[in-house]
Structure 1
Amino acid sequence: MKIFEILKKTRPISYEFSPPRTADGIPAVLEALDELKVYSPDFVSVTYGAGGSTRAFTEEITVQAKKVAGVEVMAHLTCVGQTKEEIHGVLERLDAAGVENVIALRGDPPRGETEFVPVAGGFPHATDLLSHIKANFKFGVAAACYPEGHTESVDLDADLDYIKLKVEKGADFLVTQLFYDNRYYFDFVERAKAAGIDVPIVPGVLPVLSSAQVRRFTTLCGSTIPSDLGKLLDKYADDDSSARDMGVEYATAQVRELWDQGVPGVHFYVLNRSYSVSRILDNLALPGHQRED
C-alpha cells in the first residue's frame, strides 16, 4: 500500500533504520526491527547511509524488512554518487521486489567533503529525482523538509519555496528533519499551509541517546537545542545511560504534545536501537500502537 493512502486512513507510527557498514551488521538491524514490530508500526524506512555509501545494504534491508515486519517499507534514494541510469536501476529492482514507497532526497556530501557535487550524468537536485520517479514509476513518493530551514537555504522563505516545488514535482507527503522544540514544527506547518502546501507533514523525532550524539546531529542539520534540553545535555555529558533515560522522558513529552495537537503521524529516527523508542511507545500507549507480546 502507498503510505499516502495510509495517511488518509490513520495517523501512522513509523521507524527509520540505517544500513550497517558491513553485511555482518544486517542481522542486528533486523533484530531491532523485530523488537519494535510489537508496537504495530505502519511503515518503516531505510536510509542510504552517509554520503550514499552502503546502498546495496539499503536495498537488501528494505526487502527483508517488509518480510520481517509485515508492514510497508519506504526506501531512501539520494542523488549522491550515482548516475541517472544507476538510480533508475535501483528503482526497477525495488519495484520488482514489491516495494511501493520511496523518499527522494538530494543527500549529503560524501564523508570528508563539504559541498554536494552531482556525478556526471546524475541528478543535481531532489526535485529532479522526484520528477524522474513520477514520470517512470508508480511509487508513492515522500520528500524531506526542514522546520528550521535547510542549512544551505538563503532564508526561510526561499527554503519554503523549494519545499513547495518538491510537492509540485510529485511528493505525496513530507517528513521533517529532527527538531527538539515543537514550536518550530507548528510554525513551519502554518507557513507551509499559507504557501499552499497541502500534503501531510509528518514530524521526525530523534530520541536523545547521548549528549555528544545530539550536539553532533543538531550541528549537522542546523536544529536548535532548547535551553532546558541543553542544561540536561550538560548535566549528563559524561553519563550516556542517564542521558538516554532522560531522552526517553523528553521525547515522550515531545511526542505527546505533537500527538495531542493532531499531527498526521510520527516518524522515529531509531538509529538501529530499539530501547528508547520502545519505552517511549510504552509511555505513550497510543491507540493501535501498544505492545503486543
Structure 2
Amino acid sequence: MPTPNVSFEFFPPKSLEGSFKLWETLGVLAPLDPTFVSVTYGAGGTTRKLTHEAVTAINANFGVPVAAHLTCVDATRAETLEIADQYAQAGITQIVALRGDPPKGTATFQAHPDGFGSSEDLVAALAKTGKFDIRVGAYPDPHPEAASMQACVDYLKAKIDAGATSAITQFFFEADTFFRFRDACAAAGITAPILPGILPIEDWSRARRFATACGAVIPTWLDDAYTSAIRDGREDLLSTAICTELCTDLIEGGVDDLHFYTLNRPELTRDVCAALGVAPNVALAEVA
C-alpha cells in the first residue's frame, strides 16, 4: 500500500494553556512532513485575530507550509481582503476560503451588508489578486442547507470555476461516501484535487454532535460499536482501528492525500499515521 501525503487542521488557542497545547500538537505532528497545515476560524469569525496570530507564528517557527482559513462572516469585503493581504505580506499564500458558520445565536448565515455573500464570491475576489493557492470546502454527505447531493457537487464546481485550486471535504465515516462524491464530481467535470477530511474520533459523543450539526451520516454499526467499546473501556482502541481502516480503504481506492481534523489532540492522528507508514522526518523533528 502506498504511503499517503498528509495534512493537518488545527484551531487557534484561546488561552495560554491552549497555546501550549497547540505547540505541543505541532511538535508531535509537524515531523510527519505534512504537505500543509491549516488553522480554522471560530464560528461567526470569533477567532479572526487569534487565527492570524497562530498562522503567522506557525509560518515563522515551524518548517511546514501553512494555510489560513478565511470566511465571509461579520466583515466587509475590504476588511476580508485586507486580512488576506496581511497573510500575503507574511509569506502565507494558501487560503482555505469558506462561507463560515452563522454567529452563535443565529440559525442562518446572513451576509454583512458590505461583505461577501458566499464562498464563491470570496474565492473569485481572492483569485483576482493572483496571490493565493485557494482551497475550499466540500460535502460528501449533503450540507444541511443543500437541496440534494447534486447541489453540493454543482456548488463545488462553481467554486472551482471561480478560482479554487483544490477542495477539502467535511469528515465522513465510510469510504464509499467519499468515492460516490468523487465520482459525481468527476462526472460534473471537476478535475481539481479533492482531499478527504478525516476525523479521528477522540470522543464519540462529541464527534456525534459534530456529525449531526454538519449533516454527516452516522452509520448504525458505528453507534453500536461505540456503545460496546465505551462500556468495555476500549474506545481509544476502537477509534484507532476504525480511522486506520477508513484511511486504508481510501488509499486502496486511489486516494493520495489525507487531511486530518486533529482538534489539537495529536496522539490518535499520530498513531493512525504511523499505522499507514507515515514516518517522522528527522530534520523537521529537530525544528519542532
- Give the deviation of 1:228 after TM superposition: 2.2
| 3-state SS of paired residue (1:203) | strand
| 3-state SS of paired residue (2:234) | helix
Asked whether the 8 Å contact 1:43–1:71 carries over to 2, the reply is yes
- How far apart, in 1, do the equivalents of 2:229 and 2:11 lie? 26
Could you tell me the TM-score, scaled by structure 2's length?
Answer: 0.92
- How far apart, in 1, do the equivalents of 2:47 and 2:19 lie? 11
Q: Equivalent of 1:231, from 224, 227, 231?
A: 224
- Give the deviation of 1:236 after TM superposition: 4.0
- Give the deviation of 1:238 after TM superposition: 6.5
- How far apart, in 1, do the equivalents of 2:226 and 2:217 lie? 13
- Give the deviation of 1:154 after TM superposition: 0.8
- Give the deviation of 1:149 after TM superposition: 1.6
Residues 238/55 of structure 1: CA separation in 2 closer, same or farther (3 Å cut): farther
| 3-state SS of paired residue (1:268) | strand
- How far apart, in 2, do the equivalents of 1:87 and 1:281 lie? 35
Q: What code does the residue aligned with 1:161 have?
A: D
Range with bigger deviation, 125-134 or 244-253: 244-253
Cα RMSD for the two superposed structures: 1.8
The number of residues matched between the two structures is: 281
**Partner residue, 1:282:** 274
Q: What code does the residue aligned with 1:120 have?
A: P
> What's the CA shift string for 1:29-88, capped at 9, x where partnerless?
122111111212121000011221111111111111123331111100001111111101
**Partner residue, 1:261:** 253
- How far apart, in 2, do the equivalents of 1:207 and 1:255 lie? 10
Asked whether the 8 Å contact 1:174–1:199 carries over to 2, the reply is yes
- Give the deviation of 1:271 after TM superposition: 0.3
**Partner residue, 2:200:** 207
Q: What code does the residue aligned with 2:106 have?
A: E
- Give the deviation of 1:265 after TM superposition: 0.3
Asked whether the 8 Å contact 1:233–1:243 carries over to 2, the reply is yes
- How far apart, in 2, do the equivalents of 1:208 and 1:76 lie? 22
- Give the deviation of 1:23 after TM superposition: 5.4
- How far apart, in 1, do the equivalents of 2:276 and 2:4 lie? 14
Q: Equivalent of 1:56, from 40, 49, 62?
A: 49
Q: Equivalent of 1:25, from 3, 18, 22?
A: 18
Q: Equivalent of 2:183, from 190, 199, 204?
A: 190
Q: What code does the residue aligned with 2:214 have?
A: C
| 3-state SS of paired residue (1:220) | helix
Q: Equivalent of 1:92, from 85, 95, 112?
A: 85
Asked whether the 8 Å contact 1:100–1:139 carries over to 2, the reply is yes
5 Å matches for 1:231-250? 231-237=224-230, 242-250=234-242
- Give the deviation of 1:216 after TM superposition: 0.3
- Give the deviation of 1:233 after TM superposition: 2.1
**Partner residue, 1:109:** 102
Residues 137/23 of structure 1: CA separation in 2 closer, same or farther (3 Å cut): farther
- Give the deviation of 1:281 after TM superposition: 1.1
Asked whether the 8 Å contact 1:76–1:104 carries over to 2, the reply is yes
Asked whether the 8 Å contact 1:211–1:236 carries over to 2, the reply is no
Q: Equivalent of 1:134, from 97, 122, 127?
A: 127
Asked whether the 8 Å contact 1:58–1:75 carries over to 2, the reply is yes
- How far apart, in 1, do the equivalents of 2:230 and 2:109 lie? 32
Unmatched tracts of structure 2, length 5 or more: none
Question: Higher relative CO (CA 8 A, sep ≥ 6), structure 1 or 2?
Answer: 2
% of aligned pairs identical?
36
- How far apart, in 2, do the equivalents of 1:15 and 1:212 lie? 22
Asked whether the 8 Å contact 2:4–2:276 carries over to 1, the reply is no
**Partner residue, 2:244:** 252
